[in-house]
Structure 1
Amino acid sequence: MTGSVLSGFRLLQLSTSAQLRPLEGVLRAAGPPLLFGLRLWASVSLALYAAFWLQLSNPFWAGASAAIVCQPQLGASLRKGWFRMLGTIVGAVASVVLIACFPQDRVPFLIALASWGGACAFAATLLRNFASYAASLAGYTSAIIAGDLLGTVGGVDATAAFMLAVTRATEICLGIGCAGIVLAGTDFGGVRRRLATLIAQLAGDVTAGLSGTLASGTAGTEFDDLQEVQRELVRRVVALDPIIDQAVGESSEIRYYAPVLQRAVDGLFSALVGWHAVANHLAKLPVNEAHQAATTLLKNLPQELRSAPEPGAAARWLAHPAAVHRIYQTAVPPLTALPAGTPSLRLLADKTAEAFTGIAHALDGLALLVADPARPALRPGRNRPHVPDWLPALVSAGRTFATIVAVSLFWIVTGWPGGGLAMTFAAIVTLLLAPRSEETYGAAVLFVIGGILDLMLTAIVSFAVLPGLSTHGFAAFSLVMGVCLVPLGTLLKSARQPWQVGLLTAMTMGFVPILQPTNPETYDALLFYNIASAIVAGMGAAALSFRLLPPLSPVFRAHRLLALTLRDLRRLAKGATQGDWESRVIGRLAAMPNEGAPLERAQLLTALSVGSAIVYLRHFAQRFDRGATFGAALEALEEGDSASAIVHLSRLDEVLAAESTDAQGTQDALRARGNILVISETLTRPASLFDAGVPR
């Protein structure tokens, strides 16, 4: 009897467990989003409480700053907070300087303010990630302070400039600090591990692709498919950039060694370039010759690299990246010292070595992220910034300048009391979206929709909920905010579609400024709707500016980036010094838009290989007194005469082939002939990169 009861109990337990398992999965999935919503609420509540306690004049800016800084990832929140503080201080100083320069001149002051906003938009478009955010903030902090300094028709109150700048900066920094305290105390971050996993997966995928290309011995029928795979890998490498910035925000060690991570990304690009060159050359060789060359290379590789990594290799790389790094390091010397008998084999060996060297750099970054005790000594080094294209930044600057001037003019002409706030939010949205190159109008429209939804929500809170509370203490007010902010934060963390993220971000950012909490709370309907309509109108003006002066289209930007690279390639052929050629082109490759640029991305990879070949051949010609013959080929390249360039390169190749010298000299000559092959194969394509019609 007892046994049957126990058996029945076990069956009931198993049945109940099976029924509750889906619910458990739902609760587990809902946990992180709900926790983020609670963090958002706590950050805003703490900021407002501190601002009320300090009796600051506009405490809502503290709460709004906490909401803006609060991000789903800890690294993003902390790093954004530091850059927000920097941007706030710069913007406050700039506003005081502008007031000092134009104390009684309304129109020059507004033009100077618009010029400062345009300069900040220019910097925000050139910079990346949170540095870009700091530049945007420097612009709209000045607009926030200016909007409070100016009267109903834009009259400058110079006497209050300094104290108001200090007050607004204090309110904003207070919100940043409160959000940082809440987030740092409730979230230990996970971006570092996530970034390490992504780098390990990318390194493994590139290794698998290169090993597969060598194992097949030819890329002839598969070359188009390989190009598609390589373009997708390039996109994934580009996507590492914001995650690296978040990881830097989580750890001071990673911040110190940030150039190591940048070299890891450049190494992945170099590996892709080397793989692209190997696949491209194998596709042009006869099948037998391609198989023979690939077999020779495989024999000189460590056993671990002769085939694609096994499933689960990324996990082992994460556990012991330094050990894997040594495998790639040992693969490079045999390839570079390989006694090749043909320029084709020399080219394939050098490009394979280049790819493995790039992956080794990526593994250096991986060892840093997982804190492998066996990692090699890392040197921080320095990054050399390169601007891929100046035009998008100029467009952003012109749009921001025109928007601030137009809204300011409307404000002065109409005498609208909310004009200053409308100008402020027009500047905020325009500057925040300035770095974005795609779908900016849609994002600005989402800000308007979010503002309208916030208007309805805050109207209910202000005139239906708060006046009916039995107590007017901060605890009751905070609970009401929690009812609004916790669901918004939960939905933001759970959002997957871009429009969902944009709409919910706009609502979390606009809720506190539209609510405008004060101590004690006031219930002036006319003032509330004037403030709310000014905020929505400013967002609408920003949306209109993106409609009238949109960012450059992805197709146009892709063509410009390619045209600029080909211009530099021509200058390189002409003899101009192009220091750090590879970093320059890799920067443009990283800036290439994801949409509408598959051909241009492949051509950039080719241009990078050709430019590196020109650099090598120029040094080779100087060493071995072949400058005249190679100079004639470069002159033809610079003029866009592909046929003449091929003839001169063929002559140089024949001269190098006929010479007999020592073993080292032979390998140097073969390496030079291999680089001649890289250029010649590019020139023999139906649409050469050096066609005379390409813009210079």
Structure 2
Amino acid sequence: MTNPSVRDWLFSAKTFLAAMIALYIALAVPLERPSWAMASVYIVSNPFVGATRSKALFRAIGTAMGAAASILIVPPFVESPYLFSVLVALWTGAMVYMSLADRTARSYVFLLAGLTLPLVALPTVTDPTTIFDVAIARTEEILLGIICASVVGSLVLPSRLGPTLIGRTDAWFADAQQFAHEALAARGGAVVQLPRQQRLAATVKALDVLLGQLSYDHASPEVVARAFALRERMQLFLPVLSALTDPMAALRSSAAIAHVPLFEPLMADVCKWIDASLRRVSSTPITDGDTEATHLRARIAALRVAVPRGLAPWDRALLSNTLWRVQLAIDIWEDCLGLRALIDQHHGSWEPRFRHWRVNAEEVFVDHGFMLFSAISTICFIVVACSLWIASGWHDGANAVFIAAVACCFFGGLDEPAPAIFRFFLSCFVAVIASGIYLFVVLPEVHNFETLVLVFAVPFLIIGTLIANPKFNQVAAVISLFTATFMSLAGSYDANFMVFINTSSASLAGLVFAFVWTRVTRPFGAEYFAQRLIRATWADVVRAVSGPPISDERTFFSRMLDRLMQVLPRLATSGPHHHPSVETFRDLRVATNSLDLRHYRDSVVAEMSEQIDRVLTNVRTYYELCVARRRRQPVPRGLIEAIDAALARIAQPGAGGAPPTFSTEIRLRDAVHALVGLRLSLAPLAPGAPAVPAMPGPAPAV
């Protein structure tokens, strides 16, 4: 564990200042439970002002929604306790579902709406006439903490998200640089670098919430738009580099590489350019085009045209496919560098190099089955917990149900929530000990607010530095929350040991029940959900090759790519060639290459379109078999033979059925690229090469 930085101490001091202001106002008004105002400050505070503002706004909206729902539910249904429990559970479960469906910071609205209802409604079941007053009181206390946290965070040395965004992207660039070197140097025996792939995917995924908070940080619309464009290209870079590995390894494993002496020097120069461009990006914005990148693209184009005569047709197609993918990687890398420089320096213009129909899509993949399961699990848990509370007649059972519901809601989106709930329990236990010491040892000696601030300063300042650390954020936030709430501060000291024991033991008992519940009802691990996502990818491949044309292919591809980013962090290391991450990348390429083939088939002669249809039919049959048997099957030889036959027909002279034009050659080249991509994705290690006839003319039409 590293020592807290100056920024961490500054954040902690600001948070403590806001908490003490909220507590002072709550005591002066006075509000019913001033400690809730103090606790709310620690819940919403974030080292960055934009994150604090967005979280504060969404918490305020969610709190208001939950309080309003409690006022509507309690009076008419409190006399029917089991029906009342079901309604509370349904509301909370529905909010959990909606929070999981929204992958932005807005999900906090639904999460807080789901938690506020049991917070307000459950304690009032013994006296429903107080529901309106309790709802107003909890809302006032929470809003007071929110306002204090936002005001102090905005006025006292505000910390902006921009530097953190740059820091996150620089970490991504470092990993992406190494991944690019590995892809450009790929050979047949290359080992999958899963940890690096996982870091790249995790960095991109972590930007979702960060970019959603950027607009609350006084960032200009141009900066926000560039940040989203950068994230999109960062996400695309991983599959583009992965797609380069197979043709690069296949080309180097053949004798053809000896006939292309300019190839290896070109790849070495691409690696040098990546290194050099990354070193200078922080000082020199790449906004008017990188001359070295332009020169590399010219060398790639020249090599594709001047293909040596000694190359076999398949090797020529393979070389063209490899060079095309190298150029895609150069284009995306240059775009990423230019956007990063513009975000950092706030001046200049940017013209995208990577132009493709698959960019500018923001659709994400949501697993509705998993979300529904999480919501139903939460609903059933609350119903069972409430039933046990009602049957036992435990006066403080409402507190147990509420705390347990908090744990289930907060961790319902995890593959394995039980370990997180156990850490939640340990944090709550520490908070019980700390609040007990304060209540019965320290606070009896406190007789004014100034002394109260002094006795709170040391522990809460230390906790604040831990909240600023991502490793300890969750634990520290829970300790601060429960320490403040368990003390139940009021205008005068009236601590009761038995009340404290009942309240704290109810909270701990609720968390124990939540832990046991999730262990029993959710025994799955990350591997189970990874396989579930992979099977969803297979189903999308089937959609890509069959049925009516997909109405919005950009959105379709965006969902598949986002799902891939969710699969990678869940995978464990295994063998190098049939590693799940590699296979999933290849499934994505099969889908995109199949979509491309469906476009090309309508502009070729009937015989060629029949060959393409045969390929697509075989792809559909194979992936339908994988879906039906719920596991990846060996690729049938007939599928590979169908691809080879289509390659042989499309690549032969006069394939277009008419005198070749520039447009025809481009479309035939792209069709061959798609077929080569399909073959390498489905049979990357297949021995031998397909019998592809010579390409037409002096330049290859690939």
- Structure 1 residue 556: Cα displacement: 0.8
**Residues 1:610 and 2:604 are matched in the alignment:** no
The count of residues paired between Structure 1 and Structure 2 equals 642
Could you tell me which residue of structure 2 aligns to residue 558 of structure 1?
530
1:317 to 240, 260, 281: 281
**1:490–1:682 CA distance, 2 compared to 1 (3 A):** closer
Contact 1:88 1:138 in 2 (8 A): yes
2:422 is aligned to: 445
**Cα deviation, residue 583, structure 1:** 0.8
Matching residue within 199, 219, 239 for 2:187: 219
Q: Distance in 1 between matches of 2:70 and 2:258?
A: 68
| 1:78 corresponds to 2:53 | yes
CA–CA separation in structure 2 for the residues paired with 1:377 and 1:101: 61
Question: Aligned-pair distance for 1:140?
Answer: 0.5
- How is 1:455-494 mapped onto 2 (pairs within 5 angstroms)? 455-469=432-446, 472-493=447-468
Aligned to 1:261: 227
Match of 1:175 among 145, 148, 154: 145
Q: CA deviation at 1:432?
A: 1.5
In structure 2, distance between residues paired with 1:213 and 1:243: 29
**Is structure 2 residue 517 aligned with structure 1 residue 545?**
yes
Structure 1 residues 513-662: aligned runs within 5 Å = 513-550=485-522, 552-578=524-550, 579-580=553-554, 581-592=556-567, 594-598=569-573, 599-625=579-605, 626-640=608-622, 642-660=636-654, 661-662=660-661
Identity of aligned residues (%): 22
Q: How far has the Cα of 1:344 moved from its partner? A: 1.8
Q: CA 1:487 to 1:650, structure 2 compared with 1: closer, same or farther past 3 Å?
A: closer
Select which of 382, 394, 411 maps to 1:404. 382
Determine if the alignment matches structure 1 residue 665 to structure 2 residue 629: no
Does the CA-based 8 Å contact 1:331-1:353 persist in structure 2?
A: no
Deviation at 1:539, TM superposition (A): 2.6
Report the residue type matching 1:419 in the other structure: G
Q: Which amino acid aligns with 2:281?
A: W
> How far apart are residue 685 of structure 1 and its match?
4.9
Q: Could you tell me which of 357, 360, 370 is aligned with 1:392?
A: 370
Quote the offset at 1:595 in angstroms: 4.3
**Structure 1 CA distance for aligned equivalents of residues 380 and 59 of structure 2:** 25
Q: Tell me whether 652-661 or 672-681 shows the greater mean CA deviation.
A: 652-661
Letter in 2 for 1:430: C
Query: Secondary structure in 1 aligned to 2:571?
Result: coil
C-alpha separation in 1, matches of 2:648 and 2:165 = 49
Alignment of 1:236-247 (within 5 A): 236-245=203-212, 247=214
Question: Is 1:133 the counterpart of 2:127 in the alignment?
Answer: no
Q: Secondary structure at the match of 1:416?
A: coil
Change (3 A) 1:364 1:135: farther
Task: In structure 2, give the amino acid aligned to 1:677.
Answer: V
Deviations 1:204-232 (A, max 9, x none): 65356446654x5x5234x2156665455
**Alpha-carbon shift at residue 283 of structure 1 (Å):** 1.0
* Cα displacement (A) at 1:168: 1.9
Alpha-carbon distance between aligned partners in 1 of 2:120 and 2:90, rounded to the nearest angstrom: 16
CA-to-aligned-CA distance 1:528-578 (integer Å, 9 cap, x gap): 222222222233332222222236411111111111101110221123544
Deviations 1:353-409 (A, max 9, x none): 32233334434542453143113389xx98643334223322321221122112211
Opposite residue 20 of structure 2, the aligned amino acid is S
CA spacing shift, 1:481–1:241, aligned 2, 3 Å: same
Task: Deviation per CA, 1:630-660: give whole Å up to 9, x if none.
Answer: 1122112111173223233222222222233
Please give the root-mean-square deviation of Cα atoms over the aligned residues, in Å. 3.3
- Indicate conservation of the 8 Å contact 1:267/1:357, yes or no: no
SS in 1 for 2:120: helix
Give deviations 1:433-488, integer Å, cap 9, x for gaps. 222334x322212222222222222222112222223xx22222222222331222
Change (3 A) 1:194 1:420: same
How far 1:678 moved relative to its partner?
A: 1.1
Moved more, 79-88 or 583-592: 79-88
Q: Show structure 1 runs of 5+ residues with no match.
A: 1-25, 688-696
Distance in 1, Cα, partners of 2:407 & 2:282: 41
CA drift at 1:593: 5.2
SS at match of 1:173: helix
TM-score with structure 1 length normalisation?
0.83
Task: Give the letter for the 2:332 counterpart.
Answer: G
User: Partners of 2:504 and 2:194 in 1: how far apart?
Assistant: 52
Provide the C-alpha distance between the structure 1 equivalents of 2:506 and 2:198, rounded to a whole number of angstroms: 45
Distance in 2 separating the partners of 1:199 and 1:291: 38
Q: Residue in 2 aligned with 1:6? A: none
Does 1:283 pair with 2:269?
no
Structure 2 counterpart SS, 1:448: helix
Structure 1 residue matching 2:619: 3-state secondary structure: helix
Long gaps (5+) in structure 2 = 308-315, 353-358, 574-578, 623-634, 655-659, 687-702
What amino acid is aligned across from residue 202 of structure 1 in structure 2?
W
Q: What secondary structure does 2:262 align onto?
A: helix
Local SS of the residue matching 2:272: coil
- Please say if residues 415 and 529 of structure 2, whose CA atoms lie closer than 8 Å, have aligned partners that are also in contact: no
Query: Cα–Cα, structure 1 residues 33 and 226, in superposed 2: closer, same or farther, change >3 Å?
Result: closer
Kept in 2: contact 1:392–1:551 (CA 8 A)? no
Match of 1:10 in 2: none
Alignment of 1:122-201 (within 5 A): 122-128=97-103, 130-151=105-126, 157=128, 159-201=129-171
1:154-201 C-alpha deviation (Å, 9 max, x unpaired): x7x2x5444433332222111111112222233432532232233245
**Could you list the per-position Cα deviations for residues 476-522 of structure 1 after superposition, in whole angstroms to 9, with x for gaps in the alignment?**
2222222331222234446x7x5x55433321121111011112232
> Contact between 1:646 and 1:680, CA under 8 Å: does it hold in 2?
yes
Distance (Å, rounded) in 1 between the aligned partners of 2:402 and 2:650:
68
> What per-residue deviation string (whole Å, max 9, x for no partner) do you get for residues 112-160 of structure 1?
1101111122223333353333322111011111123211xxx7x2x54
Tell me which of 224, 230, 239 is aligned to 1:273. Answer: 239
| Aligned ranges 1:321-336 → 2 under 5 Å | 321-323=285-287, 326=290, 330=294, 334=298
Preserved contact between residue 195 and residue 247 of structure 1 (Cα < 8 Å)? no
What TM-score do the two structures reach when normalised by structure 2?
0.83
> Does structure 2 conserve the Cα–Cα contact (< 8 Å) formed by 1:66 and 1:175?
yes
User: Would you say the 8 A contact 1:202–1:233 is kept in 2?
Assistant: yes
1:58 to 33, 57, 60: 33
Shift of 1:273: 1.8
* Aligned equivalents of 2:296, 2:204: Cα separation in 1: 23
